[in-house]
Structure 1
Amino acid sequence: MNDGSLLLKNIGVDDAGLYECSVENETAYVDRVNLTVRTEPPPLVNVTVHASTILALILWNVAGDGGHPIIDFTAQYRSAAPVNGTLEPWRPISPNHISPNSRQVDVYHLDTNASYWFRVWATNALGPGPPVEVLATTLYSDQEAELYKHFFSGAEQFDTRTWVAAVCVVMGTLVVLAAGTCAVLCREWRRHDYVEDQDVMELVPNIILNPGFMEMDPIRPREPLASSIIKSTECPGPGKPRRV
């Protein structure tokens, strides 16, 4: 430019380096400038997904940080099967902000024998980098299929009357137990009242035969205390007789 400055537009990571400014038609360099380009984090590399029956493990490596330290990673997933001709929205994977030191994350609550899209990206102070998407399919669980066959085998021939009879037997047992408990409680209550009546009947003859049975002993008068006789002695002085 006319003022001697250098203006670079639409630069990228490849434009970083040492720039030299010199006067036209002269070989002597006037100034040198080292240009450092800082961007969002580049795409992650070696992104793989190891899927099992109901969970998956996402692994990745970092190719660079864009000139600023990576703040966190973010991972999402969604079903690869379209619904009404469109794919479902991306679902977040917990935690939403993965530690910058992590290189993997687990995904839970997946369906067996289903395809999913997974994507992950890094974020620094300038913003998020481009996501990397990977398609993976969960495994088919033979064990779950065997359990399904075991539980539902003979379901078509199952008679609901058997289930109703079993419920009636259980309810009848509960009713019998409740009635027995009530009978025992009533019996104990009546027995307690009978014992109290017997105690009252035994107490009445004692009162009739001995009228003073329920009377309290009269309060005895307190005997006067004997007065104490105090004998005093006086020590005689010199030449005086002792008196008692």
Structure 2
Amino acid sequence: MSIKISTKQQVDELTKIIYQYLRLPLSDETIPGSFLEGVLAHVRSGTRLNTYDFVDVISKKEKIGWQVKSTKSSTPVTWKRAKIPNSVELIEKSKKSTEGLQNLGNAIINFCNEHAEQSIKDYGLDEIYYSRLVVFDSGEIKYIERKLCDKKDHRIFRKEDYEWHWSTPKKTVKKEQLPALHGYNKHTNTKEWAWHGLGENQLHFSGESRWWEDKDSLVVNFRNPQSKEKLSLEELIKMLSVI
């Protein structure tokens, strides 16, 4: 595990801030990604970028960046909006042959890796990490950190690890949903990608759940505050009035 993974002291501070945030009367059971970005930037003495670059937070001193995600466990992770060059032509060919399918899938994987490489170049980074918060309906919260790539090898994903298939369109009461391109991990035979290239280009990555307990990941579990630990609105107003 890289020495640039957050230390126990840093993770303790990060989870403590999140826990206190969840005690507020106006918060719900989800933690906005922007809030996690701000907390991580504070704990790691970094800068929150607030851009559409691959990295959301950087530390110029350590020359590292973080891709930050925070969702409920039931919410699919949108890796990015993947607007693939020549997508119209690639999509058309993907409907005609297995080779066309693989070429479209390869273009998606290359697009993801190149996005990371661009942040490495733009911000002079040595490494990029993943900072992930998962909130479960049970009240459990999981914080994960892991290294994604570095300037020597910017590839997060290997195109040879995946095979691709178009999904069967689903009909709902109101309309027929457009098919999505699904990417399956060849080693586990599980679906890890869903690219909605016929719609808004959202690229969902369910494969990141494998990282939640991976030996190369830092994983910390804690819980949502219980009802008795949460502040009432009156208590919050009283606290703020003496500041």
TM range (shorter): under 0.3
TM-score where L is the length of structure 2: 0.19
Q: When the two structures are superposed, what TM-score results if normalisation uses the length of structure 1?
A: 0.19
User: Larger % of helix: which?
Assistant: 2
Larger Rg: 1 or 2?
1
